[in-house]
Amino acid sequence: MQNQLRVQNLCYQIGKREILKNFSFNCTNGIIALLGNNGVGKSTLMNILAGILYPHSGEVYLNEESLLSHRSYPIEKAGYLPQMFDMYHNVTGYDFLSYVYDVKKLPPQDKKQHLQQIVEDFSLQEVIRKKIGKYSGGYKRRLGIAQAVIGHPDLILVDEPTVGLDPEQRIAFRELLSRISLHSITIISTHIIEDVELYSDKLMIIGNDHTLQFDGTVNELIDLAKPHLLMAVIDKRELNEVRNKVHIIEEKRMADHLIQIKYISRNKTATVLDNSCQVREVSLENAYIYFQHAQNL
């Protein structure tokens, strides 16, 4: 089933400080990555979508049903993995999943089979009967995402999913997310660009002014940045001098005191170094840094 999430003019403030300003977007099934600097309101947006915070104005509709009703939040249709996921250390993984299943008020007759399937899907067989306090960071994160997908929700919210995981665990986690996003809208808040590049279908960037600055695909962001990124080969000894002239976004060491640099041409002085050429391969990280830099100009 194709799900649809519609967010309209969300505003949230703490005291007089605005955390989210007129935030609107639409999305369907797939992985949507939410990027932005620290403190721009990523977690606030996730908490509003999860029904934990209530916005000052705006609306959120999941398949045309309001998520912001004061009276009820459809927990059976949503899954949430908070940034700092933890559970009582003396509770077993299975007891925890069983609690979530019951709280979501899913059919009791399917419980055993559904939980067994989830345990297998997330390769938790080894630890599921152990106490959560004995879980490694990777297993805890896996259990966290497993509880979020109980009941096959239409909307899954994952806040900073790969923080604290080693590279191998991050790869495994990416695979899990890709799998679950086939049938649901999966919104991931992160600042790890590498993760976004590998698995996200859509990208949203929250600017420092707390508004939605970019809403598109990874390729669209790269295309936006490409004309403004230049590449040059310079002598290693000139690096500090060059740094004062242009905004370097990537350095690559070459032989004989040479360094290949990628830099942003569009800056306050608009300096272009000698022998510069257009960057052919722009990574998402390059594009993201350009985008953040362009915002500050």
Partner 1 sequence: MPIFTFSTLKIYKQHFFTMFDHKGKLLKISIGLLFLLYIYCVVFPVPNEYINILKNYGKFQSIDNLFDYAVPLLAALVIFYAFLPDYKEKIYVFFQFYTDKTYSSMMICRWLTFVVTFSIGVLFSHMMYFRNVAFLDVQSVWMALAKLPNLFMLCAVVLFFMHQFKNAYIGLFVMLAYYVFDYISAGRTLAYLSLGAHSNNFYYQYSPTLYIVNRIVLVVVSIILLLLTCRKHPLINITKWFRR
- Phi-psi map region of 51: left, alpha, beta (phi>0 left; psi -120 to 50 alpha): left
Tell me which stretch binds partner 1 (CB under 8 A): 97-105, 191-199, 221-229, 250-258: 97-105
> Can you tell me the distance from the alpha carbon of 273 to that of 87, in angstroms, rounded to the nearest whole number?
55
Among 59, 95, 215, 285, binds partner 1 (CB under 8 A): 95
Report the DSSP beta bridge partners of residue 278: 230
Q: In angstroms, what is the minimal distance from the CB of 55 to partner 1?
A: 10
Which residues, at least 6 apart from 157, have a Cβ–Cβ distance to it below 8 Å?
46, 49, 50, 78, 79, 80, 81, 148, 186, 187, 189
Of 211-240, binders to partner 1 (CB under 8 A) are none
- Of 53 and 242, which has the nearer Cβ to partner 1? 53
Q: In angstroms, what is the minimal distance from the CB of 262 to partner 1?
A: 39
Q: In angstroms, what is the minimal distance from the CB of 97 to partner 1?
A: 11
Phi–psi pair at 165, nearest 5 degrees: -100, 145
Report if residue 11 touches partner 1, rule: CB under 8 A.
no
Q: Comparing C-alpha atoms, which of 225, 161, 220 is closest to residue 194?
A: 161
- Of 87 and 234, which has the nearer Cβ to partner 1? 87
Report if residue 129 touches partner 1, rule: CB under 8 A.
no
Report if residue 207 touches partner 1, rule: CB under 8 A.
no
**What does the DSSP assignment read for 182-241?**
TSSEEEEE-S-HHHHHHH-SEEEEE-TTSSEEEEE-HHHHHHHHGGGEEEEEEEGGGHHH
Report if residue 87 touches partner 1, rule: CB under 8 A.
yes
Report if residue 16 touches partner 1, rule: CB under 8 A.
yes
Among 9, 26, 39, 54, binds partner 1 (CB under 8 A): 54
Among 26, 28, 103, 241, binds partner 1 (CB under 8 A): 103
Among 37, 90, 260, 296, binds partner 1 (CB under 8 A): 90
> Which residues of this chain interact with partner 1, rule CB under 8 A?
14-17, 50-54, 70-75, 80, 82, 84-92, 95-96, 98-100, 102-105
